[in-house]
């Protein structure tokens, strides 16, 4: 009988220790995910001068795989070209993006101002859209039809 009690105690101890470890790992993962899930807010001004408050703004584009299938991409950064390099500028360092129309179907030129005041001239690497939620519902703003995005 003593052996049975000792085995049950060892089994319970192992189960409790395992549960504590899983709980600790789950909490760490949840904290890491919540840190990476920052929602960005911005005021977007389109080519007609209409301003839209956008909550949870992302840069969105679809990659064409075949004639009938696409892979959606939702980024919290803006991929731009500077010379031959592609630079991915994260939303959390951007103060404003001023868009200059290209007119010929090519991705537009942009002037990006960072939070520290630095500015740079680029071309969007991908013709995408800025998507998010407005007070009236989901909004999608094609980059080629924008004038400015100011992050809050």
The Cα–Cα gap between 117 and 122 comes to: 16
Clarify whether residues 2 and 29 are in a common domain: yes
Clarify whether residues 95 and 111 are in a common domain: yes
Clarify whether residues 67 and 22 are in a common domain: no
Clarify whether residues 21 and 62 are in a common domain: no
The Cα–Cα gap between 12 and 10 comes to: 5
- Note if the pTM is more than 0.85: no
For residue 128, which phi and psi values (nearest 5 degrees)? -120, -165
pLDDT digits (tens, 9 = 90+) for 42-68: 999 999 999 999 999 999 999 989 989
The Cα–Cα gap between 60 and 70 comes to: 12
pLDDT digits (tens, 9 = 90+) for 57-110: 999 999 989 989 999 999 999 999 999 999 999 999 999 999 998 777 788 999
Clarify whether residues 68 and 32 are in a common domain: no
Clarify whether residues 19 and 82 are in a common domain: no
Clarify whether residues 90 and 29 are in a common domain: no
Clarify whether residues 32 and 53 are in a common domain: no
Q: Name the residue range of residue 89's domain.
A: 41-151
Clarify whether residues 22 and 53 are in a common domain: no
Clarify whether residues 58 and 133 are in a common domain: yes
Q: Above 60 in pLDDT, residue 23?
A: no
Clarify whether residues 29 and 56 are in a common domain: no
What is the number of domains present in the chain? 2
Residue that wins the pLDDT comparison between 136 and 18: 136
């Amino acid at each position: 009988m003593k052996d049975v009690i000792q085995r049950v105690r060892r089994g319970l101890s192992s189960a409790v220790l395992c549960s504590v470890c899983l709980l600790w790992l789950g909490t760490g993962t949840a904290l890491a995910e919540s840190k990476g899930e920052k929602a960005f807010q911005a005021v977007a001004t389109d080519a007609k001068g209409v301003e839209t408050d956008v909550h949870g703004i992302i840069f969105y584009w679809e990659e064409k795989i075949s004639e009938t299938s696409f892979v959606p991409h939702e980024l919290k950064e803006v991929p731009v070209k500077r010379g031959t390099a592609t630079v991915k500028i994260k939303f959390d360092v951007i103060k404003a993006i001023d868009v200059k129309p290209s007119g010929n179907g090519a991705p537009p030129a942009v002037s990006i101002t960072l939070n520290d005041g630095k500015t740079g001239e680029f071309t969007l690497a991908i013709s995408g859209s800025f998507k998010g939620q407005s007070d009236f519902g989901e909004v999608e703003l094609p980059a080629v039809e924008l004038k400015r995005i100011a992050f809050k």
